[in-house]
Structure 1
Amino acid sequence: DYRYFPEPDLPPLVVMQPWIDEIRATLPELPDARRARYEADWGVRRVDADILTSEMQVADFFEQAVAAYGTGVDRPQRVVNWITGELFRLIYAAGDAQDLRQIADLPIRPAQLAALLRLVDEKTINLTIAKKVLEMMAEQGEDPGVIVERQGWALVSDTSVIDAAIQAILDANPDELTRYRGGEAKLFGFFMGQTMRATKGQGDPQMVKQRLQEMLRGE
Structure 2
Amino acid sequence: MVRNVSRRALLGAGLLTLAGVGGAGGYGAGLFLTAEPSQAGTAAPLPMGSGGASPSPTASPTPTPRKVTYDNSPALKPADLSYRSQTFDVRAVLKSRITVRVPDGWGFTQPDPPTIGRFTDPTGKRWLRVEGGFTIKRPPAASMEIRLAQLKRLSANQMFQLLSQRVDKDYATIAYTYVPPPEQSPDAVLRYVIVRWVANDSGNCAIEMGSTGLPQDQDALMDVLEHATRSIQRKDTPLNS
Q: As a proportion of its length, which structure holds more strand?
A: 2
TM over 0.5: no
Shorter chain as denominator, the TM-score bin is under 0.3
Query: Greater RCO between the two (CA within 8 Å, min separation 6)?
Result: 2
